[in-house]
Copies of this chain bind each other. A is one copy, B any other.
Amino acid sequence: MEFHAEKPIYRQIIDFVSARIVEGEWPDGSRVPPVRELAARMSVNSHTVLRAYDALQADGIMEVRRGMGYYLTADARERSLQMLRREFIESKAPAFFAEMHRLGLSIEDLTTDSPGI
């Protein structure tokens, strides 16, 4: 997997997992790839994957079953969406439009480069 430099890898892994959940590829309650397996697949240290799983567990999106691995919780998708949407609506969007305004831009100025609005 390709990582970019601006964001810590473990956060990019969190984003990756969240995307799998939100897009329904990894359904609620299903088992997620074992730490070491995902680490190998992503050419990353298992530590780094573990850290991401840990954070997701703290958010109630994953749970560990002893000796059996990590599983998505029953409401993993719901929770993920809620958290992501909330941050988007309450924090990212206001900042986005504030900057747009400051730069003297309007929605129209963006449409060329941002099809699909």
Contacts and interface: CB of A to CB of B under 8 A. Distances in A.
Copies of this protein in the assembly total 4
Given A8-B66, A66-B9, A107 B103 contact: no
Contact of A23 (B58, B98, B102, B117): B102
Interface of A is mostly: helix
Interface string A86-117: 00111011101111111111010110011011
Nearest to A113: B89
Q: Which A-B residue pairs are the 6 nearest by beta carbons? A: A93-B110, A97-B114, A93-B114, A94-B114, A85-B103, A96-B96
A42 B81 CA distance: 34
B117 A88 contact: no
